Structure 1
Amino acid sequence: MMLSPDQPDSDLPWGQSDAESVLNDMKAGCVSDEPTEGDGRSRALAPQPLSREEKRRRRRATAKYRSAHATRERIRVEAFNVAFAELRKLLPTLPPDKKLSKIEILRLAICYISYLNHVLDV
């Protein structure tokens, strides 16, 4: 359905034929019920203060924040992997260069610590 500026369209669901009057009606619905100032303009509503959670969400939505967060996460994961590699070097396995998963490294470390405690107790 095409609307032309010189031809009113009565098929609109709200019964308006003029787009400007529709916009004016929508603007009027957004104006507060407060009294108007002397020149006929209505006073603008003060923006609602944002909650702490809303401020946090908006801050986290920025590209700068996401980029910094991704960088921090990469550094954290790298440090985590370095720590596992160091722990892996301390554990005796055959063959010594055998690739172990993180859970295998942790389980082997638990067993090795238990063994060392047993040796110390004897």
Structure 2
Amino acid sequence: MADFCWIMDVEEREIKERNDTEMHYMGHLKPKAGESGNQYASIFFPVELFLEKNSEMGSLTREEERRRRRATQKYRTAHATRERIRVEAFNVAFAELRKLLPTLPPDKKLSKIEILRLAICYIAYLNHVLDA
């Protein structure tokens, strides 16, 4: 049965080393040598983006900056609303999937990754039963 349930964790995968001359680091501690650095991968970005954004901001008039700030605030509010709706739909889908999976005890709380892994194993098991 274990043959059907092997899944590689995202955390087990290693991110390739980034070249410090091509990347700008935003003031957080870098992972020590030998560590994979997965938890910090999202805070690296190309220096060109940083420089381009800063030079662009310096050329705006006060009125343009005010308009941009207002537009940004409206965008953030709208984005936050869309994100809340998306996350809520995502959580409802996980809850529905969870109801279909057999566990002992039946009301056991599972994380999202546990729900996905259990669903994969359960589908593989059902497939095996059908093939037998």
1:67-78 alignment, distance < 5 Å: 67-78=77-88
- Give the length in aligned residue pairs: 66
Using the size of structure 2 for normalisation, the TM-score is: 0.47
Q: 1:106 aligns with which of 94, 116, 123?
A: 116
Using the size of structure 1 for normalisation, the TM-score is: 0.50
> Using CA pairs below 8 Å that are at least 6 residues apart, which structure has the higher relative contact order?
2
Correspondence for 1:85: 95
Whether the 8 Å CA contact 1:60–1:66 is kept in 2: the answer is: no
Moved segments of 4+, more than 6 Å:
none
Correspondence for 1:120: 130
Do the aligned partners of residues 121 and 86 (structure 1) sit closer, same or farther apart at CA in structure 2, a change above 3 Å counting? same
In 2, Cα distance between equivalents of 1:81 and 1:70: 16
1:1-122 alignment, distance < 5 Å: 58=68, 62-122=72-132
Do the aligned partners of residues 87 and 59 (structure 1) sit closer, same or farther apart at CA in structure 2, a change above 3 Å counting? farther
Give the superposed CA RMSD. Answer: 2.0
More helix by share: 2
Gaps spanning 5+ residues in structure 2: where?
1-67
In 1, Cα distance between equivalents of 2:122 and 2:90: 21
Per-residue deviation, 1:75: 0.3
CA deviations 1:26-46 (Å, max 9, x no partner) are xxxxxxxxxxxxxxxxxxxxx
Question: Of the two, which has the highest radius of gyration?
Answer: 1
Identity %: 94
In 1, Cα distance between equivalents of 2:111 and 2:74: 34
Question: Which AA in structure 2 matches 1:111?
Answer: C
Gaps spanning 5+ residues in structure 1: where?
1-57
